[in-house]
Structure 1
Amino acid sequence: MHQKPFQFNLQMFSQDFEFNNKEIIGKGFDSIVYKVIRKCDGTEYALKLTSFKDLQHKFNFQQEIRLLYHLNHEHIVKFFASSMDGSCILIEYMPFGNLVKLIDLQLDIRIIKSIVNQIMTAVKYLHQMNIVHGDIKPENALISKKFIIKLCDFGFAIVANQPNTKLRGGSEGYTAPEAAVNENYDAKKCDIFSLGVLFFVLCMGYRPFLSTHPQKQDKFWNFIKNKEWDKFWKIFEAKKPDIGFKNYMQRLLCADPNERYTIEEAIQEDWFKSNQYSVTQLAQQLNIYLTKQ
């Protein structure tokens, strides 16, 4: 049963939770995440505090709280509470960190597809609620104590219930090209693009390009933008990506959002959905990799 989030007085927090300001488990541009322990039963949580550097960052954090309050999905980090002053949130503790630590492990494609599928399942849930995450990247996908992948950080998320709702931010190298220019676009397709970059990074070990911004004139991105896929893939031929991976990437990373998959199409694509691990099987695989590090 989904527990309804509550509010707490930050000044009284130490009465119920053990808090060590040296036990930092994550950092963002304007936030720090600490591990805390509830005194009554020893349950571990993550406490995310923001500094409100400016009004925009205050809005982003408050938007995150508003959205998390309504979200309940097995592949989205659980939200338990927020402080009365809106400066911090209490969320699920994810002891194995984010997906960045998996990038250099040269994981089997079956494991990678299974990881990405869990993230896509969360994105499908969001898109069905007309919510766009807006900042999908390895840093924003965490690994739970049961080795389940969960999406986090909704600071740039938007409710796209109106046509041509614009994104409010994102991370360079993961942001779709249409978001960088002042034109109408489907924000949900921007999430698909970011998923493509994340998938590529997990498979190849690095991003396919540094930026899609027209002012940057990134050589690798220009190959994709101009549909010169042969030139693009030649750069990565030492990695020997198979034809199924290439074709799938081309429908996630294409410059024209109208040619990009929807989240439903991406999940159901034949090459992608074949030969995946179940949630339990993937947990067993990740347990092997992460506990031997």
Structure 2
Amino acid sequence: MAGAARKKLVGRYEVGRTIGQGSFAKVKFAVDADTGAPVAMKVLDKATILNNRMLQQIKKEISIMKIVRHPNIIRLNEVLAGQTKIYIIMELITGGELFDKIARQGKLRENEARKYFQQLIDAINYCHSKGVYHRDLKPENLLLDSRGNLKVSDFGLSSLSKNGFLHTTCGTPNYVAPEVLSDGGYDGSAADIWSCGVILYVLMAGYLPFEENDLPTLYDKIGSLKEPSH
């Protein structure tokens, strides 16, 4: 029809509305014009990436997402590059964040928490088998699909390592393992499992085990935790 608005195309994808936005990227709803399948399109501005010295981080995130293929990990379909933008085409997840579910209803029923935790552990065990360590596991980075299945997302801080011994201090303070806060390096798999344990606590209790407004106090609390003797 002559009066109809032309749809914006990126490659073979028809680009629609913005469904998410972060500091350095927008996420658009898009449709594969060949198959009709809906996808999520993460749009990054090249100049912004270069100005913030994020190019290597973005390259690493993309290379890691190409490695991981698991039912409980968000799937990378392909990456396209234009003159000024990078387009990361991913599986579209429509059920929101696990964080939103907890914020809405508080602690979960045990059988529901068990299901999510099992799916999380399956995904992270798979990542570790590939030498991938997520390093920023938290409910905000766990998405739910239309069937209520968990999908691990956001590999922006992840690392690829043969022996799993890492040195960079990173992650979200409330979920970070004590050894990550030290200067001696840490086992990436153990640090991820610690974060999984904090997530399980949040699922079952509805609140964080470690919570302080002051970061040094929070880190002291995390670092002084003693394991029970029994």
TM-score class, shorter-chain normalisation, is 0.7 to 0.9
Aligned to 1:16: 12
1:113 to partner: Cα distance: 1.2
Residues 144 and 224 of structure 1, relative CA distance in 2, 3 Å threshold: same
- The amino acid across from 2:80 in the alignment is S
Seen in structure 2, the aligned counterparts of structure 1 residues 61 and 70 have a Cα distance that, compared at 3 Å, is: same
Q: Per-residue deviation at 1:171?
A: 1.4
Report the counterpart of residue 145 of structure 1 in structure 2.
146
**Inter-partner Cα distance in structure 1 for 2:161 and 2:25:** 25
Instruction: Check 1:175–1:31 CA distance in 2 against 1; reply closer, same or farther (3 A cut).
Output: farther
Match of 1:59 among 53, 56, 64: 56
Indicate the residue corresponding to 1:91 in structure 2: 90
Superposed, 1:194-273 pairs within 5 Å as: 194-210=195-211, 216-218=216-218, 222=221, 225-227=224-226
Q: Any gaps of 5 or more consecutive residues in structure 2?
A: 1-7
Q: Residue 108 and residue 159 in structure 1: after superposition, are their counterparts in 2 closer, same or farther (change >3 A)?
A: same
Aligned to 1:26: 20
> How many Å separate the matches in 2 of 1:87 and 1:168?
28
Per-residue CA distance 1:128-171 (angstroms, 9 max, x = gap): 11210111111111112232211111111101214632246311
Once structures 1 and 2 are overlaid, which stretch shifts more, 109-118 or 163-172? 163-172
3-state SS of the aligned residue for 1:150?
strand
Q: Which residue, out of 66, 70, 75, partners 2:72?
A: 75
- TM-score, length of structure 1 as denominator length: 0.65
- 1:162 to 1:176, Cα distance in 2 relative to 1, 3 A: same
**How many corresponding residue pairs?**
214
Q: Which residue of 2 aligns with 1:233?
A: none
4+ aligned runs moved over 6 Å, structure 1: none
Q: Hey, what's the Cα distance between the residues in 2 that align with 1:73 and 1:135?
A: 18
What amino acid is the match of 2:88? I
Q: Which has the higher strand share?
A: 2
Shift of residue 64 of structure 1? 1.0
The whole-number CA distance in structure 2 between the counterparts of 1:228 and 1:193 is 13
Question: Aligned letter for 1:159?
Answer: L
What is the CA distance between 1:62 and its match in structure 2? 1.2
> Which residue in the other structure is 1:113 paired with?
114
Q: Which has the higher helix share?
A: 1
**Percent identical:** 25
Alignment match, 1:4:
none
- Distance in structure 2 (CA, Å) of the matches to 1:15 and 1:29: 25
1:156–1:168 Cα contact (<8 Å) kept: no
CA RMSD of aligned residues (A): 2.7
Task: Tell me, yes or no, if structure 1 residue 48 matches structure 2 residue 46.
Answer: no
